[in-house]
Amino acid sequence: MSVLTLRQVDPAAHARARSVERWRGAGHDAGCDGLQRMPGYLRFSAEYEAGEWHGLILAREWLHHSLPQLQALLTVETPLTSIAGLFRAVPQPLVLALDELHYQTLSDVALVDPLLLPTHRVPWLETPQGRVWVTQLPLARAVSEPLDPSAWLSDLPLRLTLKLGVSHLDPASRIRLNEGDVLRITQRAQHGFVAQRCIGAFTFTEQGLLMQSTDTAAHSEVATESGAQVELGALSVRLEFILATHDVDLATLSQFVDGQLIPLADDAARHIEVRANGKRVARGELVQLDGQLGVELIEVYRDTFSEQSR
């Protein structure tokens, strides 16, 4: 094909859709719809340890679900401003079973002008206090769980490098370096590295090498914090995105010079191969995301013992 036409992906809309999928996957009633332009929405900012997320809820709906017995006692409708004041006064006005929307405090509570409501589709979650609309999603939270032996990452190829130490050659030594010379290891280290991170130290035994984890940084070149033990599950994984592969002979390869076209299938953009540390893990579609290239996964290769989607 002459031009590779890529589908445009809106990062914000994609993040909203993926959030709804996660919430539904966790067994919650959730969706993504447009808001009705009507008065009565309360906005709030939900704060937690690492940041905040923003939401909306209908004031009267919250009051009805939070104090259902109040409806029978009232002879007139409660003013919206009074409901907003009650919402501020309650320590935990929303009970959210979803860990992703965990919060410690709510702030910036106010009634919203209908003209200022979002015009795009907004993800929502049903709660015991009514439907909560999430207008700003929380930041992705770091996962500190240990790597499960059955996780798909557990059998990715990694290169273990056993370093004995380092030396430094002066210019004169570099000039006269010859076969038969003996180079001294002036700074012994004897550490093991994976993905440029120190995972432990080793010592020589009669049976071979004995590895032991270490809590200290092995070398000034390694970007590990002193005193912090490296989590094997936190080691970096190199992802590669393969557009196409061709089996060619040497004669054909020699013809691939500057300016020559390499043929691509019409649907090549939908068959991008994703490799993690050299292993095929997924197939996806090449898209444009905020002016950058991205790959939206279509198929993730998993076996019986692979980790489940989060």
| CB count in 10 Å sphere of residue 31 | 14
- Would residue 144 count as lying in a domain? no
**Quick check: is 95 in a domain?**
yes
Termini Cα distance of the chain: 37
- Whether residue 201 contacts residue 191, with contact meaning beta carbons closer than 8 Å, is answered with yes
User: Whole domain around residue 168: which residue ranges?
Assistant: 157-234
Q: Are residues 90 and 106 in the same domain?
A: yes
pLDDT at 188: 73
Instruction: Please check whether residues 55 and 91 belong to one and the same domain.
Output: yes
Helices (H), the chain: 11-25, 59-66, 70-73, 80-89, 171-175, 250-253
Q: The domain that contains 201 carries what CATH number? A: 2.30.330
| Total domains present in the chain | 3
Q: Tokens 């919430």 belong to which residue?
A: 23
Residues 228 and 271 placed together within one structural domain of the fold: no
Q: Is residue 226 domain-resident? A: yes
Tokens of 154: 């557990």
User: Do 51 and 128 lie in a common domain?
Assistant: yes
268 lies in a domain?
Answer: yes
DSSP label at residue 206:
S
Q: What is the pLDDT along the chain (310 residues), one digit of tens a residue?
A: 446 788 899 999 999 999 999 999 999 999 999 999 999 999 999 999 889 999 999 999 999 998 887 766 776 788 999 999 999 999 899 999 898 999 999 999 999 999 999 999 999 999 999 999 999 999 876 555 555 555 666 667 777 777 877 766 666 655 565 666 666 667 777 788 877 778 788 786 777 777 777 654 434 344 444 345 666 666 677 788 888 776 666 566 555 555 556 677 888 888 899 988 788 888 899 888 887 888 888 888 865 334 344 4
> Is the domain of 46 the same as that of 67?
yes
pLDDT value, residue 139: 87
Rounded to whole angstroms, the Cα distance separating 57 from 10 reads 25
Residue 147 lies in a domain: no
**What pLDDT is recorded for position 217?**
40
Q: What is the pLDDT of residue 253?
A: 57
Q: Where are the beta strands (DSSP E) in the chain?
A: 7-9, 30-33, 41-48, 51-58, 105-111, 122-127, 130-136, 160-166, 187-194, 197-204, 209-212, 239-242, 272-276, 279-289, 292-300
Distance CA 231, CA 234 (A): 5
Dihedral of the alpha carbons of 205, 224, 146, 162, in degrees to the nearest 10: -30
What is the spatial distance between Cα 143 and Cα 132, in angstroms, rounded to a whole number? 25
Q: Are residues 97 and 27 in the same domain?
A: yes
29 occurs within a structural domain: yes
Which residue among 185, 201, 234 closes a domain? 234
Pair 93, 176 in one domain: no
Domain assignment of residue 3, yes or no? no
